[in-house]
Structure formats: C-alpha cells, structure tokens
Structure 1
Amino acid sequence: MAAAVGTFSYRYFADGTVAPDPAWVAANIRTEQVPILGAVTGHEVLFPQLRGALEEVVARGLADSIDPDQFGGCYVPRFIGRDPAQGLSLHTWGIAVDLNVPGNQRGTVGEMDRTVVDIFQRWGFAWGGDWGYTDPMHFELARLVRAR
C-alpha cells in the first residue's frame, strides 16, 4: 500500500492536524463524485475501490444504510485522535472514510449495516469495527483490488 500512496514530509500543529508536503498533495489528492456521498476528496488510488463498493451498496438496495449527511470525510490530515503519540491517521493519505458518524462512535459496537461492511471488505477495505478498540464509522483501504 505504501508504494501505491507514496510518502511525504509534513508540518504538524498543536490541534493535532498536519499539513502534508504540497507537492505530494497536488500529485495525489483529488475530488471526485461517488455514489451516495457525492463529492469526496481523497487519494486517487482510493476512488476505483470506493466507487465500486458504493455502486454495489446501491445495486444491493442498501443506499439508505449510508447517510451522506453523516459522512465524516476522507482526506483529513491529522494524527489518530489528534494525538501525535498515536501516529498519523490514514485520513492523512486520503485512504480512509468515516460513514454514519453519529451512530458509530469509537469504542462502541455501532450501528453500521453488516452487509455494507461485508461489501466494503470485499472491495479491499478494513473496518474499524473489527479492531480491539472499535471505530465502526471507519473504513480504510487495506489492499488493492481490481474493479469488477
């Protein structure tokens, strides 16, 4: 995955956000339209798989399971929990998405539709609901798969 998304230097700020190298941002970060969510800003490598997962969600009649008004973003350069001790969030690379934020807070089981989770996992995303300290709103690109 590192080879696909690249590396960058960054500046960090007291509020836990970071500013990646502008040249890396210009070369890799895009805003594209995707089903359900509309305009999403993220890494160009993310879009085929995100679009594929969301198209499958729509095709399976599950579009109402994702509320576009509760989308927490994709490219949000920051540390995990805004804490430098926890390392950079994959949102900094634009390869993570947070869905249905209010009902899927960290440390909870969440309300994410498990069929939607299965779809995203088949499309190469890891789900934060599977982690020891859960983050059920969070999906991150874990492996590259070919669009079907």
Structure 2
Amino acid sequence: MRARVSKEKLAAVKRYEEIHKAVIMDYDFRPGDIVLIRNTQIEKSLDRKAKFRYLGPMVVVRRTKGGSYLVCELNGAMWPGKVAAFRVIPYEARAKIAIPEDVEKRIDMSAEELKELEERRDELDEFWMNDLHFDGVNLDSEDSDTE
C-alpha cells in the first residue's frame, strides 16, 4: 500500500507540472544578475493598492545551499537577510545597467560577514525545524501518565 501511495503522489506531481508548465518558472540567478523582489508583506494588507508590489532592482550576490539568495542594492548596500527563491524574478531593464564582475568585493560587507549571513538560520527556518517538536514531552520514555 505504501508503494502504491508513493507512486500516486509522484503521478500527481507529474500531472501538476504538466498542467502548469507555462506558469512554473525555475530561475537560476548567478552573481551579478539584476532582479526584483516581490514584496510579500503587503499582500494581506488592506491598503496595498498604493504600495510597491516589487522592490528593486537588486543585484544577486550569492545563492545559498538552501536555494535562497543574498542580494544587494545597486549602491552596494546588502539586503538584511536571505530572500526566498520564489520572491525573486528577473529584472527587464529598458537600458543597459553596468554591473561589475566582482560583485562580492564591491558590497558593504566583508567576506566573513557574508559567509555568516549565508549560514545564519532565519526565523522561518527555526519555525520549520521546531514544528514537530513538543516542549516538555519525552516521546522515548516508557512511562505513562496513569500512575
């Protein structure tokens, strides 16, 4: 039964990909690419009509192991934290914007600070890591509450 359920899950994923192949985009931005960042904080607010839907343009500095991006503004100021891959879209410039090849050397962070930012866990990472943990409950013990 477990094999049949796994087979059905994979088939459902393939069907979903086939149906939505025109919508699903898997961008792989390299350092120096210019991107926009979707402003997800305004999506549930009532006054979002007058707010910016996208922030940027930004320059990709590095892609982390988890798939998120470290970005900086055009003046070299680093964005404070990682940006999830689903929020990043390519920037279509009307005119050519010259970005230097050595982006990591031109930002306002040292290499050590950049490495620390890349390896830092965000609040969302902590939420998912602690999602299935119950404080004060020892699931390994044989003791029961009926003593």
TM over 0.5: no
Higher share of residues assigned helix? 1
Which has more radius of gyration?
2
TM-score (norm 1): 0.24
Q: TM-score, normalised by structure 2?
A: 0.24
Question: Larger relative contact order (C-alpha < 8 A, sep ≥ 6)?
Answer: 1
